[in-house]
A = this chain, B = another copy of it.
Amino acid sequence: MLDVYSMAVKLKNAQKNLEISSLDDRNDALLSVSKHLWLRREEILKMNEVDVSNAKIKGMKEGLIDRLYLDENRLSNILDNIRSIEKLKDPLWKSEKVWTHKNGMTISRMSVPIGVIGIIYESRPNVTIDAFSLAIKSGNSILLKGSSSSINTNIAIVNIIKEGLKNSRISEDVVFFVEDERREVADEIMNLQGLIDLLIPRGGKDLINYVVENSKIPTLKTGEGNCHIFVDESADFKMAIDIIKNAKLQRVGVCNACEKVLIHKNIKDKFLPLLYKELNDKVELRGCELTKEIVDVKLAYENDWYEEYLDYILAIKIVDDLDDAIEHINKYGTNHSEAIITNNLRNSLIFQKRVNSACVYVNASTRFSDGTEFGFGTEMGISTQKLHARGPVGLEQLVTYKYVIVGDGQIRK
């Protein structure tokens, strides 16, 4: 079993050829991997059974077991992602801008891979395949560190990925999976500066914060989503309720689910009872003092406004106006995804500009903050930081650029 340092050295070397490989080579490799994963699906599902049964013995929550579980249908959907990525345009070696210096040199800004990417993630085995596919298509080699709970599934998947690569023109060394289950191995990875160029933690808040605060490698902060929906005075009530129900209930444990509803004070008496009627039997409702005066909900504490529940809980606050809503969101939110339901054009524009989040919605569900929905094939995570990449991280967020300057002997005067 290789240690993470040796893996990183191999990844760095393999990346040198990956980065200059043709699009055909990278696409053929993805198709070969997809074919092998499907052919050997029984092996993957058998190992997944082992992980699921271990998880049950350990008393893992049902929601988490569901994230871990694979069947033929789910695997088939994951492989669809590979084929979507295969169809996307090459993100590499594009001249994004080209101009001429007055002395005649041409200056081009070209897209290039980041290099070696590391991802430390929890539970879901689809991340293994998604992360591999996005990385390889964008010319980056990838170190995968999954959680113990899905280790048998992940080992089977990565072994088959490597077999798929052996049947392609891309080296099997562009991907390594860390089988080492010691806790310290994450720290060892975080110290591989110079070998790994970018580290992406994907999972719970504690994992993410630990990596972002302690890594010596640049990180991409993903995932935490305390998402708000603001129901403005002019909102269409039916639309507002449909969107809130979708954003809260369609999937409850995901980062783009709605956690907070803010309601304009002028519509509170009419709208709140409608919302209560629709949601009270489905989720635990909490509310501010004003909300409690109108409908029978638990009191929401200061703490609630900061929390990402990832559960059947929704907190409601009555706000004075648009400014109050924006201020609340920018103070308590996580800069992920927020929506305004309104028919007021001016308010929709102010909300778009002033809300300081990666994705800002007007009259649509926050659940669309997703690489597949955005047309990126899949995603490496949803970035909630401001620098480098924001929102769903797809191929175009996994590249950087360099300037190429071609002259004929120009010197500076």
A contacts, CB < 8 Å to B = 16, 19-20, 93, 99, 101, 105, 107, 114-115, 197-198, 213, 216, 218, 236, 239, 242-243, 245-247, 250, 348, 352-354, 356-365, 367-369, 373-375, 385-388, 390-391, 400-412
Indicate if the CB atoms of B359 and A405 lie closer than 8 Å: yes
Given contacts A364-B409, A368-B412, A387-B387, 17 further A-B contacts (CB under 8 A): A99-B375, A114-B387, A198-B387, A250-B411, A250-B412, A348-B406, A357-B402, A359-B405, A361-B406, A361-B407, A362-B406, A363-B408, A365-B411, A365-B412, A369-B403, A374-B403, A390-B401
A101 partner, pick from B107, B236, B368, B401, beta carbons under 8 A: B368
* Contact partners of A373 in chain B: CB under 8 A: 101, 412
Nearest Cβ on chain B to A393's Cβ, whole angstroms: 12
In the A-B complex, the 6 residue pairs with the closest CB atoms: A364-B407, A246-B411, A367-B412, A388-B388, A239-B409, A387-B388
Q: List 23 A-B contacts (CB under 8 A).
A: A20-B353, A20-B354, A105-B364, A197-B387, A218-B385, A236-B409, A242-B411, A245-B411, A250-B412, A352-B404, A357-B402, A360-B405, A362-B407, A363-B407, A364-B410, A364-B411, A365-B412, A367-B412, A368-B405, A369-B403, A387-B400, A388-B388, A391-B403
Which residues of chain B come closer than 8 Å to A99, judged between CB atoms? 375
CB distance from A320 to the nearest CB of B (A): 18
Q: Is the interface of A mostly helix, strand, loop or mixed?
A: mixed
A390 / chain B contacts, CB cutoff of 8 Å? 400-403
Q: Which of B236, B250, B368, B386 contacts A400 (CB 8 A)?
A: B386
Q: How far, in angstroms, from A123 to B385 measured CA to CA in the complex?
A: 32
Minimal Cβ-Cβ distance residue in B for A330: B16
**A386 in complex: contacting residue of B115, B353, B359, B374, CB < 8 Å:** B115
A368 & B402 in contact (Cβ 8 Å cutoff)? no
Known: A101-B373, A250-B412, A386-B115. A406 touches B357 (CB 8 A): no
Chain B residues, CB < 8 A from A105: 364, 368
Complex: chain B residue closest to A20, CB-CB: B353
A405 touches B361 (CB 8 A): yes
Contacting residue for A403 out of B360, B400, B411, CB 8 A: B360
Once the chains are docked, how many angstroms separate the CA of A365 from the CA of B105?
11
Residues of B within 8 A of A410 (CB): 363-365, 368
Question: What is the minimal beta-carbon distance from A330 to any residue of chain B, in angstroms?
Answer: 9
| Identity of the chain B residue whose Cβ is nearest the Cβ of A109 in the assembled complex | B391
